[in-house]
Amino acid sequence: MFERFLSKETSYLRTSEIRDLLKLTEGRNVISLAGGLPDPQTFPVEEIKKIINDVLFNNSDKALQYTATPGISEFRKELVNISRMRGITGINENNTFATVGSQEALFMLFNILVDPGDNVIVEAPTYLAALNVIRTRRPNFISVTVTENGPDLEELERKVKDITNNGKKVKLMYVIPTAQNPAGTTMNIEDRKRLLEIASKYDFLVVEDDAYGFLVFEGESPPPIKAFDKEGRVIYTSTFSKILAPGLRLGWVVAHEDLIREMELYKQNIDLHTPSLSQYIAMEAIRRGVIQNNLPKIRRIYKEKRDIMLEAIQEYFPKDSRWSKPVGGMFVFAWLPSRIDTTKMLEKALQKGVAYVPGSSFYADYSGRNTMRLNFSYPKKEELTEGIKRLGQVIKEELST
Amino acid sequence: MFERFLSKETSYLRTSEIRDLLKLTEGRNVISLAGGLPDPQTFPVEEIKKIINDVLFNNSDKALQYTATPGISEFRKELVNISRMRGITGINENNTFATVGSQEALFMLFNILVDPGDNVIVEAPTYLAALNVIRTRRPNFISVTVTENGPDLEELERKVKDITNNGKKVKLMYVIPTAQNPAGTTMNIEDRKRLLEIASKYDFLVVEDDAYGFLVFEGESPPPIKAFDKEGRVIYTSTFSKILAPGLRLGWVVAHEDLIREMELYKQNIDLHTPSLSQYIAMEAIRRGVIQNNLPKIRRIYKEKRDIMLEAIQEYFPKDSRWSKPVGGMFVFAWLPSRIDTTKMLEKALQKGVAYVPGSSFYADYSGRNTMRLNFSYPKKEELTEGIKRLGQVIKEELST
């Protein structure tokens, strides 16, 4: 009965066939490489239990009560500290904001900043759930190809210049410089600086998603673009979902104070504030070094799982495929021979007992139809090998038809 | 630097002078009757501690992990149970939805249902934070006066008829039938049924906010309008903020399955899902009877505080004022002599060491300039008397100038 009551807003929110297909796998004997869940082994359960007991003993009046919209003041100080661990300096608590996962940060930022028709630059491919929020704003998308080293900056500057030459402006670029989701690439420091120079020259904002900044398990994790930002042009967002526990729904933003104030007004309408208990847990987890001490274990587990997945892919995928060798994060991205349509192939894969996310969902223009995203963080090791083996068979069958 | 980057969206999000004024009181020797916080004495701290320890012992893999967007399946079954305690029957878990406080429910519902120009009926006065969300949708507001027994249903039907006669439709009515915030009124059962008949006759939706349904401390709490709904026309929302702890940020919706699915799509964009840990805590608090057993204590505390406030008002307010005698909830609403402008008077009150919320914020058309909302749930008993005494003096001085 509700169809006729719905606002126009909802027409931008259509469920995808893929999501519906993947829902069907629940409870069936399907190895899912489609998810994006952390390995529950990485949750510091005992430490969290201890923290909660202490917090409820010492601070129950505050931890169970309403709090300020941008976050608990002491927690925001710890957000400064954890951001500093990523190389971001020269900020104070008024530059930080606690959100319900980094998803809420993205939801707020794109609603606050993007009007219909605005020019918005995204990587191709890029994070599906960010793309979905941006879509609801009906912008003009400009896609920039992700190479092995991150977004193609020559292509970026050429496209931005074109827009400028036509008398128009770019509003913002959404970018994931480290262990990019889904492509697995990491930008080097020079490219990060170069991207910031382009943003400054053509006067657009950079929304930087650093979800995997602490999850680089090979080599150093370069500082985020925000670390080089002297103009307040970069809006940084990250999450506790991968370094503590996603069930807390806790993310954060580092940005210019003026923007933080806009976020405060917007969030009052959405949900008043982020759960106080989650904030207290993360605050103590930073203070006690729980997060810092847990990182080596998370990185070790994910590196091991990545290696297993890459080995299996090497063995079972056709030779004319290529795939990312991510230095961090939770995903491998694969480019299959161009005759393969991974969206069409999904149903067959599910029948053979393996799930993945077709890559076209990660492209603003739904291209990349021969690509797929594979998650290695959640499945068990033996499932990784078996899943990729099944998938390799499906691909080979698909190629031989 | 951000002004020029902001979307049009943000122009509907301006901070109020009142909010800014009230912020100034923080940390100063001001008795605040302006808040809306539960008394922390009502938090069942030990029971919550026990629950969390058990949950993290038995279910840490799930309680700290991502979960489904509408909520954890077992929790949604408990939402059916707690809704049944309010008299809502004939629903199953697919009619429920877990939200980040009932604020997020309101945010989603008004975004999903209201387009610019839609006719939206609200009570005058009504809940400030709901009004703020509805405002961002730029509807055509229709205000219906709240009498001592809730919204004036004759006025309601007359106004709806006018709209219908002009060939237009009403989209929805937002209503708080029990212990209305701010007016403190409670509709009787006959009026609830009558309102539903009007909604059915003129085919509009009812968004029912039952935040205080469990907090009636005098007489019986009538069943919500949703309990009489056979068409799926009523969308029910409530919250754990007043019956368990607001810091968990947990609310829920009961509605037609079609609408629940729309909410799922929308919430994927906002924050993926409501914190799993909060859901587990509330789930166990329902199962173990923690909430049910705690209600008599909450009601006793609030009844006592209400009585103290009403006595002080009787003593210190000018005789030509009138005020609500709420049978539940957390607020008294006062109508002062019409020459008083409570917005203008606020600064003086703050100087005298007492804060309140000027009533005009609770009116869609910002009328009710001689009204104010007074909170009795949070201040200490001695603060209630002293706060009202100070306020009475301010009012009398204002009247004598």
- Give contacts of B 24-83 with A, CB under 8 A: 36-38, 40, 43, 45, 48-49, 52-53, 56-57, 60-67
> Given a cut of 70, is residue B12 above it in pLDDT?
no
Is there a contact between A10 and B45 if contact means CB atoms under 8 Å apart?
A: no
Q: How far is B369 from chain A (nearest CA, A)?
A: 24
At the second CATH level, the architecture of A45-291 is 3-Layer(aba) Sandwich (3.40)
**Total beta-carbon pairs less than 8 A apart between chain A and chain B:** 232
B192-209, pLDDT tens digit by residue? 999 999 999 999 999 999
Which residues does chain A have within 8 Å of residue B9's beta carbon, measured at their own beta carbons? 111-112, 115, 266
A210 confidence band (pLDDT: 50, 70, 90): very high
- Give contacts of A 323-352 with B, CB under 8 A: none
Which residues does chain B have within 8 Å of residue A230's beta carbon, measured at their own beta carbons? none
Query: ∠B379-B384-B388 over CA atoms, to 5°?
Result: 135
**Burial classification of residue B226, based on how many CB atoms lie within 10 Å of its CB (0-12 exposed, 13-18 middle, 19 or more buried):** buried
Find all residues with CB under 8 Å of B42, minimum gap 6, and list them.
Answer: B294, B297, B298, B301
Is there a contact between B271 and A100 if contact means CB atoms under 8 Å apart?
A: yes
By Cβ distance, the residue of A13, A232, A277 closest to B265 is: A13
Is there a contact between A10 and B232 if contact means CB atoms under 8 Å apart?
A: no
Q: Does B94 touch chain A (CB under 8 A)?
A: no
Q: How far is A148 from chain B (nearest CA, A)?
A: 29
Place of tokens 């009138």: B322
Which residues does chain B have within 8 Å of residue A37's beta carbon, measured at their own beta carbons? 65-66
Q: Does A85 touch chain B (CB under 8 A)?
A: no
Minimum Cα–Cα distance from B132: chain A residue: A269
B110 phi and psi, to 5 degrees?
Answer: -70, -30
B249-292, pLDDT tens digit by residue? 999 999 999 999 999 999 999 999 999 999 999 999 999 999 99
Domain boundaries, chain B: 11-43+295-400, 45-291
Is there a contact between B247 and A136 if contact means CB atoms under 8 Å apart?
A: no
CB A370 within 8 A of CB A399: no
| ipTM surpasses cut 0.85 | yes
pLDDT in the model for residue B197: 98
B15 confidence band (pLDDT: 50, 70, 90): low
Percent of chain B with pLDDT over 70: 96
Greatest Cα pair distance, chain B, in angstroms, is 66
Is there a contact between A1 and B66 if contact means CB atoms under 8 Å apart?
A: no
The pair of structure tokens assigned to B64 is 């700290």
pLDDT in the model for residue B8: 79
Q: How far is A401 from chain B (nearest CA, A)?
A: 36
> Given a cut of 80, is residue B10 above it in pLDDT?
no
| Per-residue burial over A221-237, b = 16 or more CB atoms within 10 Å of its CB, e = otherwise | bbbbbbbbbeebbbbbb
Is there a contact between A272 and B256 if contact means CB atoms under 8 Å apart?
A: no
Q: How far is B87 from chain A (nearest CA, A)?
A: 23
A5 confidence band (pLDDT: 50, 70, 90): confident
Is the dihedral angle over the CA atoms A73, A75, A77, A83 positive or is it negative?
negative
Which uninterrupted H or E stretch holds A158? Answer: helix A153-165
Q: Average pLDDT over chain B, rounded to whole?
A: 95
Q: How far is B304 from chain A (nearest CA, A)?
A: 21
CB B356 within 8 A of CB B349: yes
Q: Does A112 touch chain B (CB under 8 A)?
A: yes
B92 confidence band (pLDDT: 50, 70, 90): very high
Which residues does chain B have within 8 Å of residue A5's beta carbon, measured at their own beta carbons? 113, 171-172, 205
- Give contacts of A 228-257 with B, CB under 8 A: 231-232, 241, 245-249, 256
CB B9 within 8 A of CB A139: no
The full 3-state SS of A211-236, as one line of letters, equals: CCCCCECCCCCCCCHHHHCCCCCEEE
Place of tokens 């091991």: A304
A243 confidence band (pLDDT: 50, 70, 90): very high
> Given a cut of 80, is residue B58 above it in pLDDT?
yes
Report the residue of A272, A276, A361, A377 to disrupt the B interface, i.e. the one with the largest count of B CBs within 10 Å: A272
Q: How many CB atoms lie within 10 A of CB B397?
A: 12
Is there a contact between B104 and A275 if contact means CB atoms under 8 Å apart?
A: no
Is there a contact between B275 and A278 if contact means CB atoms under 8 Å apart?
A: yes
Pick the range with the lowest mean pLDDT from A4-8, A342-346, B237-241, B302-306. A4-8
Q: Domain A9-43+295-400: give its CATH code.
A: 3.90.1150.10
| Per-residue burial over A356-391, b = 16 or more CB atoms within 10 Å of its CB, e = otherwise | bbbbbbbbbeeebbbbbbbbbbbbeeebbbbbbebb
Region at B78 (left for phi over 0; alpha for psi -120 to 50; beta for the rest): alpha
Which residues does chain A have within 8 Å of residue B94's beta carbon, measured at their own beta carbons? none
Q: How many CB atoms lie within 10 A of CB B27?
A: 6
The shares of helix, strand and coil residues in chain A, as percent rounded to the nearest 5, are: 50, 15, 35
Q: How far is B238 from chain A (nearest CA, A)?
A: 14
B84 confidence band (pLDDT: 50, 70, 90): very high
> Given a cut of 70, is residue A344 above it in pLDDT?
yes
Which residues does chain B have within 8 Å of residue A66's beta carbon, measured at their own beta carbons? 36-37, 241, 246-247
Which residues does chain B have within 8 Å of residue A13's beta carbon, measured at their own beta carbons? 262, 265-266, 269
A364-394, pLDDT tens digit by residue? 999 999 999 999 999 999 999 999 999 999 9
Is there a contact between A247 and B63 if contact means CB atoms under 8 Å apart?
A: yes
Minimum Cα–Cα distance from B100: chain A residue: A271
Q: Does B200 touch chain A (CB under 8 A)?
A: no
> Given a cut of 90, is residue A159 above it in pLDDT?
yes
Dist CA B223 CA B190 (whole Å): 11
Q: How far is B139 from chain A (nearest CA, A)?
A: 11
Dist CA A215 CA A221 (whole Å): 8
- Long-range interactions of B317-323: CB distance < 8 A, separation 24+: B317/B388, B317/B391, B317/B392, B317/B395, B318/B392, B318/B395, B318/B396, B318/B399, B321/B395
Which residues sit opposite B239 in a β-bridge? B251
Nearest CA-CA partner of B145 in B137, B154, B132? B154
Q: Does A205 touch chain B (CB under 8 A)?
A: yes
> Given a cut of 90, is residue B385 above it in pLDDT?
yes
Region at A147 (left for phi over 0; alpha for psi -120 to 50; beta for the rest): beta
Which residues does chain A have within 8 Å of residue B211's beta carbon, measured at their own beta carbons? none
> Given a cut of 70, is residue B1 above it in pLDDT?
no
Give DSSP secondary structure letters for A246-295: GGG--EEEE--HHHHHHHHHHHHHHTSS--HHHHHHHHHHHHTTHHHHHH
Greatest Cα pair distance, chain A, in angstroms, is 66
At the second CATH level, the architecture of B11-43+295-400 is Alpha-Beta Complex (3.90)
One-letter amino acid for residue B228 of the chain: F
The alpha carbon of A377 is separated from its chain's Cα centroid by a whole number of angstroms, namely 14
By Cβ distance, the residue of B7, B43, B275 closest to A248 is: B275
Judged by DSSP in three states, A66 sits in coil
Is there a contact between B60 and A43 if contact means CB atoms under 8 Å apart?
A: yes
A161-204, pLDDT tens digit by residue? 999 999 999 999 999 999 999 999 999 999 999 999 999 999 99
Minimum Cα–Cα distance from A10: chain B residue: B112
Average pLDDT over every residue of A91-104? 98
One-letter amino acid for residue A201 of the chain: K
Q: Does A136 touch chain B (CB under 8 A)?
A: yes
Pick the range with the lowest mean pLDDT from A134-138, B21-25, B181-185. B21-25
A6-37, pLDDT tens digit by residue? 888 776 666 666 677 677 666 678 999 999 99
B16 confidence band (pLDDT: 50, 70, 90): low
Which residues does chain A have within 8 Å of residue B114's beta carbon, measured at their own beta carbons? 7
Which residues does chain A have within 8 Å of residue B55's beta carbon, measured at their own beta carbons? none
Average pLDDT over every residue of B342-364? 95
Which residues does chain B have within 8 Å of residue A200's beta carbon, measured at their own beta carbons? none
By Cβ distance, the residue of A56, A115, A249 closest to B7 is: A115
B172-184, pLDDT tens digit by residue? 999 999 999 999 9
Average pLDDT over every residue of A301-312? 98
pLDDT in the model for residue B185: 94
Q: On the CB side of B148, how many CA atoms lie within 13 Å of its CA?
A: 4
pLDDT in the model for residue A190: 98
CA distances from B23 to A72, B15, B34, B361 (A): 15, 12, 11, 16
> Given a cut of 80, is residue B23 above it in pLDDT?
no
